[in-house]
Structure 1
Amino acid sequence: MIVAVGAFEAMWFGIVTDTGLAVADPAVIAWVVTHRTPGLVAAARTVSAVGAPVVAVTAIAMVVGWSVWRSRWRVAALGAAGIGVLILADVGMKTAVARARPAVAWQGVSAQGYAFPSGHALLSAGVLLLLAWLVHRHELFPIGKRTRVALGVLSGCFVAAVGASRVVLAVHFPSDVFAGWSLAVFVVAVLGFVDTTWMRQVAT
């Protein structure tokens, strides 16, 4: 949690003061735009579409609905609260920082709103981390240890690919993506802490 907060603050401070990674952002995007191929752009569009916020929200909504149907109220509450906080964090930080996206001429897809943090990075990572917590702590789905490890690796690769796709498409700077990941880790870590504390209080 502390590392996530530190990473996010570093990204935010760099943007505000034009230092750190934020200084290199424009050069990185320029290099990517210069060297990307049509095939890479097409692949990035596909990955970006699969990792879109609407997909993440739909996935959690389905989990919440399934949990309510099964009368698993705590899981439903955690899922609803988690996605709600993630969305609020995304919208709130975008409004507060109001960072412009890379030049429209460079963008490989149409993108609206501000850049910081990346909503794709934040919600794809946040939702998968939230699902991982629900599986680990509340046995959302009965899966074995090896399956969990395999799904964890695949999820990590997917989150990385979604973040990279936003940079390849030049709709986000690298620091936007790193900030999204960091914020996702922080939000889910706080939710996990609250959940654990709640369970301990109920048990006593």
Structure 2
Amino acid sequence: MPRTTGQDSRWLPVSAGAALLIYALLWLGYVRQWSWLAGLDAAALDPAHEYGVAHPGWVTAWDVFCTVLGPTAFRLAVAVVVIVLLVRRQPRVAVFLVLTVELSAVVTELAKLLVNRPRPETALVGAYASSFPSGHAVGTVVSVLALLAVFMPKAGATLRLWGGMLGTVLILAIGVGRVLLNVHHPSDVVAGWALGYAYFVACLLVLPPWPLRAAGGAHSTPGNEP
């Protein structure tokens, strides 16, 4: 992820606002029981459930994948990174990672409490808390974007490209996995992606991990960089 300039960063609030709008519409769609949204959810869940029942190994593989590369694993790994950053006297970056990755769990739980949507009755594995939004979707989006924001600015163009592609694949795979396991409706996952992105952008604008450039191209006062 390249360093954000004052001019380029103008699109960030707009994109975050669009993500929040998507989140709100999906929430409204669940509350109002929009038939087309329920139909799309069922169209994805029903065949996934039938296949999973007939192939328990498939279910186990996806469950392990979503656990090993899920938000909890990211938060544990980032906790170690935060300690290393504090030892290296880079508190700004450490605080950014705590604000984004670690505190996204609080944002997720609050959102779940507000909506309180039941899990799909056809869930193939156990899962705690309510269904909307997907905590895996929120946590993975925030974790991937935050880590890219911290570690990619000093990387070469090729590494940034591969890092972005790998992060995108992981975000999509975790979201798809939660639907395949029938622990989330597809609308839960999309809502999680939207909320996670909006939360990440808010954190990035409030406390960027690197010094932003002014619109004219000059750097602001240097802070602690990764």
TM range (shorter): 0.7 to 0.9
CA 16–93 in structure 1, closer or farther in 2 if over 3 Å, else same: same
Q: Is 1:14–1:23's contact at 8 Å kept on the other side of the alignment?
A: no
Would you say 1:48 and 2:60 are equivalent positions? no
Amino acid at match of 1:146: T
Amino acid at match of 1:85: L
Amino acid at match of 1:4: A
Residue 121 of structure 1, aligned match among 137, 140, 160:
137
Which one has a bigger Cα radius of gyration?
Answer: 2
TM-score normalized by the length of structure 2: 0.79
1:84 offset after TM fit, Å?
Answer: 3.9
Would you say 1:107 and 2:123 are equivalent positions? yes
Residue 68 of structure 1, aligned match among 86, 91, 95:
86
Amino acid at match of 2:21: G
Aligned 1:7-86 pairs, distance under 5 A: 7-19=22-34, 21-36=37-52, 38=55, 39-86=57-104
RMSD: 2.3
**Structure 2 runs not aligned, ≥5 long:** 1-15, 215-219
**Structure 1 runs not aligned, ≥5 long:** none
Amino acid at match of 1:178: V
1:135 offset after TM fit, Å?
Answer: 2.2
Q: Is 1:101–1:171's contact at 8 Å kept on the other side of the alignment?
A: yes
Would you say 1:89 and 2:104 are equivalent positions? no
The number of residue pairs the alignment matches comes to: 198
Query: Which structure has the highest helix share of the two?
Result: 1
In 1, the alpha carbon distance for the partners of 2:107 and 2:45 equals: 25
Matched residue, 2:3: none
Deviations 1:110-139 (A, max 9, x none): 111100111111111110111111124xx5
Q: Is 1:85–1:187's contact at 8 Å kept on the other side of the alignment?
A: no
Matched residue, 2:147: 131
Amino acid at match of 1:21: L
State the percentage of identical aligned residues.
Answer: 29
Matched residue, 2:10: none
TM-score normalized by the length of structure 1: 0.87
